[in-house]
Structure 1
Amino acid sequence: MTFLSPVWLWLLVPALLIAVLYVVMYLRRSRYALRFTNLDLLDRLAPKGPGWRRHVPAAAFMGMLVLLVVGFARPTAEVRVPREQATIIVAFDVSASMQATDVAPNRFAAAREAARRFVGDLPSRFNLGLVTFSSSASVSVPPTADRAAVLSAIDRLTTDSGTAIGEAVFSSLDAIDALEGGEEGQERPPAHIVLMSDGSSTMGRTPELAAREAASRRVPVSTIAYGTSGGTIQMGGRETQVPVDGPALRELAESTGGGFYEAASGGELRAVYDDIGSSVGYRTERQEVWPWFVGVALLGAVVAAGTSLFWFSRIL
C-alpha cells in the first residue's frame, strides 16, 4: 500500500499521544483507589466497576482517529478490475495422441469438456476464437462474441496425426490481427492465446520461432501440458508411448509472458482453465482506497458513541 498524501500520517503522532495519556490517567486512577486501605468498606461504598467495558468506547474512538488519518493520507492499493475488452484464442491440440486413455475416458474427451466450461465462464464481452492443430493449424472459429459458434465447433472436433505447435501460435496471431485490422488509430484490446497440447511439436515452424513472433506482438501464450508420462495409444496394431513434453511448452509460455500449467487429469485441467480465465478476465490497477478507511472510521465513531451511551449514559 502506498499513500498519495503521506504528510497527513504525521497526525498519527498526536493520536498516539492521546492513547498514551489515556493509559497513564487510568493507571493513576488505579493507584489512587488502592490508597483506600479498608477494602471491605470500599467494596460496600463504591459500586462495582464497569471492568473491560470502560475501555471499549475509548478503543473505538482511537481506532476512528487512526483510520481517519490514514484515509486523509489517500492510501492506494493494487485492485483487480474486470477487463472491458479482450481477445482470447483457444488453441486446441487434436493430434492422435489425444486419444490416450491415461486420462479418463481419454485425453481428448476430457479436454473438450474442460474447454467447453472455459468458454462458458469467460466474460460475454470478450471475443473468443478457436484454433485447432495437428499436422497443421487452422482457425476453426475466428474471434467472436458468439459463444454458441465456439461451443458447436468444439463439439465437432476430431483427431488427426501430427503436432504443429508453432503453426498453432502463428494461426492464432493471424486471427487476432484479422479481427483488429479495421481499428487503426485505436488502442488494441489485450489479446491472449491459451494453447493446450500433450506432445512435442513435429510439424511446421518451430515453437521457438512462434514464441519470438508472439513476444514481438506482445501477445502472451499460456500453455497447458496435458496428460501423463505414461500415456499410450494404439498405432498400426501396436502400443505407442505418447508422453507429455512439458519443457517445450514451458519455454514457449515463459518467453511470451504467459503462464505454464500442467494437468494430469480432467479435474486438474478444469482448474487450470479456471485459473487462466481469472487471470485474463481481469487487470490489476492502482486505485485510491481511502473511502474504505473513512467508512470503517465512521463505524468506529458509532460504536464509540453507542457503547458509551448505552453503558454510561453519556456520549464519550
Structure 2
Amino acid sequence: MSFLWPQFLWLLAVLPLLLVLYVWLLRRKKKLAVRYASLSIVHEAMGAGQSLRRHLPPLLFLLAIAAMLIAAARPMASVVLPSNQQTIILAMDVSGSMRAEDVKPNRLVAAQEAAKGFIKDLPRHVKVGVVAFAGSANVAQLPTTNREDLNAAIDSFQLQRATATGNAIVVSLATLFPNAGIDISTFGSPGRQQLQGVPIDQAQRPKPAEVAPVPPGSYSSAAIIMLTDGQRTTGVDPMEAAKAAADRGVRVYTVGVGTVSGETIGFEGWSMRVRLDEETLKAVATSTAAEYFYAGTATDLKKVYETLSSRLTVEKKETEISALFALGAALLALLSAGLSLLWFNRIL
C-alpha cells in the first residue's frame, strides 16, 4: 500500500499521546475516588468487574482516530477491477503448416475451436475482430459483438502459403485505428517495383504515420492476440510492427503452436520445414508489455485462451481507498459512542 499524501502519517504520532492522556485521566479519577467514604461508591466509580466494558469504547474511538488519519494520507492499493478492454483483435495464422496434426485433430482446427471458446467466455460488451494471415494479412471480420459473425469468420479460414507475422500486427493496428493512416507500405523496404529511371533504394514510398509514443501497454481499450506456428518468411519485420504497437500503447500477446525444433510438412505438392520462432514471439510480447504463451497440445491451447480471457477481462489497478478508511472510522466512532451510551449512559 502506498500513500498520495504520506506526510499526514506523521499525525499518527498523536495516538500514543492520547493513550498517555487516557491513562493519566484514569489515575486522576482513582485518586478522586478514594476520597469517598463509602467503599461501594468507590467500587462503582472504578467500575469494578467491568474493566473490559470500561476500556472498550475509548479503544474503539482511538482506532477511529487512527483510521481517519490514514484516510487523510490518501492510501492507494492494487485492486482487481473489471477491465475496460473494449476491443480485442485475434490475429490467426492460416499458413499451410497449420494443417500439421501434432496438435489434434490438427493445428488449425484446434486453434479455431480454442478461439471460439475464448470469444464465448468474453463479456458481451467486448468487441472482437479477426485477422487471418499467411503470406499476407487480411481482416476476416471487423470488430463486432456479434458472436455468430465471429464464429463464421473463424470457420471460413483457408490455408495459404508463407507466414507474415509482421503484416498481421500492422493490419491489426490498422483495424484498431482506422483513421490513423497505418499502412503496410509504410513499413520496411520499398516495394519490389522499380520506378522508371530511379534505383529501387531511392524509390519514394509513403511516410509512416507520425505518432507521439506512449508507454508500452498503456492503451487499455484494446489488445492484440497473435497465434502462429512458424517463423516469418515474408512481409514486414515483426519487431518493427511491434514497435508501432508499443508506441501506441497496444499490447500484443503472442501464442506459439507447434514444435520449436522444427517439422517437415507437405502442402499442395510442396514439402516445407517449419519451426516455431519463440525468440521473436517473446520479443514482440515483451516490447509491447504483454506475454508469450506456448501451446504444444489442443488442451494447452485451450488453457492459454482461458488465461488470456481472465487477464483481459479483469486487471489490477492502483486505486485510492481513503473512502474505505473514512467509512471504517465513522463506524468505529459510532460503535464507540453507542456502547458508551448503552453501558454508562454517557459518551466516553
CA deviation string 1:146-168 (max 9, x = no partner): 33211221123343443221121
> What amino acid is the match of 2:332?
G
- Give unpaired runs (5+ residues) of structure 2: 30-45, 182-218
Structure 1 CA distance, aligned partners of 2:346 and 2:264?
Answer: 81
Q: How does 1:89-104 map to 2 (within 5 A)?
A: 89-104=89-104
Is 1:88–1:194's contact at 8 Å kept on the other side of the alignment?
yes
Q: For 1:275 and 1:125, locate their aligned partners in 2 and report how far apart those are by CA, in whole Å.
A: 19
Task: Give the Cα separation in 2 of the matches to 1:286 and 1:180.
Answer: 30
Secondary structure of the corresponding residue to residue 135 of structure 1: coil
8 Å contact from structure 1 (residues 230, 241) kept in 2? no
In the alignment, is residue 261 of structure 1 matched against residue 293 of structure 2?
yes
Give 1:214's match in structure 2, choosing from 245, 249, 259: 245
Aligned-pair distance for 1:282?
5.8
Assess if the C-alpha contact under 8 Å between 2:97 and 2:265 holds in 1. no
The structure-2 alpha-carbon separation of the partners of 1:294 and 1:241, relative to structure 1 and needing over 3 Å to count, comes to same
Give the partner amino acid of 2:155. Answer: D
Counterpart Cα distance in 2 of 1:308 and 1:111:
66
Deviation per CA, 1:257-285, whole angstroms, max 9, x where unpaired? 33322233444434433444454456766
Residue 142 of structure 2 aligns to which amino acid in structure 1?
P
Mark the CA change 1:177 to 1:291 in structure 2 (over 3 Å): closer, same or farther: closer
Paired residues, what number? 295
Q: Is the 2:167–2:241 contact (alpha carbons within 8 Å) kept by the matching residues of 1?
A: yes
Contact 1:90–1:129 (CA under 8 A) maintained in structure 2: yes
Partner in structure 1 of residue 208 of structure 2: none
Scaled by the length of structure 2, what TM-score is found?
0.67
The separation in 2 between residues aligned to 1:112 and 1:260, in whole angstroms, is 19
Residue number in structure 2 paired with 1:184: none
CA 155–48 in structure 1, closer or farther in 2 if over 3 Å, else same: farther
What's the secondary structure of 2:166's corresponding residue? helix
The share of aligned pairs that are identical, in percent, is 39
CA distance in 1, matches of 2:247, 2:303: 30
Aligned: 1:300 with 2:300: no
What is the Cα deviation at residue 67 of structure 1? Answer: 0.5
In 1, the alpha carbon distance for the partners of 2:341 and 2:6 equals 35
**Which residue does 1:196 correspond to in 2?**
227
Task: Give 1:37's aligned residue.
Answer: none
Match of 1:250 among 249, 274, 282: 282
Q: Aligned with 1:18: secondary structure?
A: helix
* Secondary structure of the corresponding residue to residue 200 of structure 1: coil
Partner of 2:293: helix, strand, or coil? strand
Amino acid corresponding to residue 132 of structure 2 in structure 1: T
Is 2:153 the partner of 1:153? yes
Pairing of 1:221-232 with structure 2 (within 5 A): 221-229=252-260
Instruction: Rate the CA distance shift 1:103–1:311 in 2: closer, same or farther, 3 A.
Output: farther
Deviations 1:101-133 (A, max 9, x none): 443444333322221132233344443210011
Helix, strand or coil for the counterpart of 2:178?
Answer: helix
Q: Which residue of 1 aligns with 2:37?
A: none
Contact kept in structure 1, 2:85 and 2:222, CA below 8 Å = no
The amino acid of 2:150's aligned partner reads V
Question: Structure 1 residues 231 and 302, CA, compared in 2 at 3 Å: closer, same or farther?
Answer: farther
Partner of 1:169: 169
- Return closer, same or farther for 1:20/1:275 CA change in 2, 3 Å cut-off: farther
Letter in 1 for 2:144: T
* Pairing of 1:305-316 with structure 2 (within 5 A): 305=337, 316=348
Q: Pairwise mapping of residues 84-163 of structure 1 onto structure 2 (< 5 A)? A: 86-163=86-163
Query: TM-score normalised to the size of structure 1?
Result: 0.72
Could you tell me how far apart the structure 1 residues matched to 2:22 and 2:299 are?
Answer: 58
Whether the aligned pair in 1 keeps the contact of 2:119 and 2:147 (CA below 8 Å) is yes
- Tell me the amino acid that sits aligned with residue 264 of structure 1: G
Q: 1:26, CA displacement in angstroms?
A: 8.6
Cα distance in 2 between the residues matched to 1:221 and 1:258: 6
Aligned 8 A contact 2:265 2:274 in 1: no
1:7-62 CA-partner distances (Å, limit 9, x unpaired): 54343222222235557889999xxxxxxxxxxxxxxxx99946767655444332
Higher helix proportion: 1
Kindly provide the amino acid, as one letter, of the partner of residue 246 in structure 1: E
Q: Which moved more, 1:5-14 or 1:244-253?
A: 5-14
Using the TM superposition, give the Cα deviation of residue 299 of structure 1 relative to its aligned residue in structure 2, in angstroms: 2.9
SS of 2:177's partner is helix
Between stretches 223-232 and 288-297, larger displacement belongs to: 223-232
Per the alignment, residue 36 of structure 1 pairs with: none
**Structure 1 range deviating more: 276-285 or 142-151:** 276-285
CA distance in 1, matches of 2:140, 2:118: 17
Q: Distance in 2 between matches of 1:60 and 1:106?
A: 65
Query: What is the rounded CA distance, in whole Å, between the counterparts of 1:155 and 1:27 in structure 2?
Result: 83
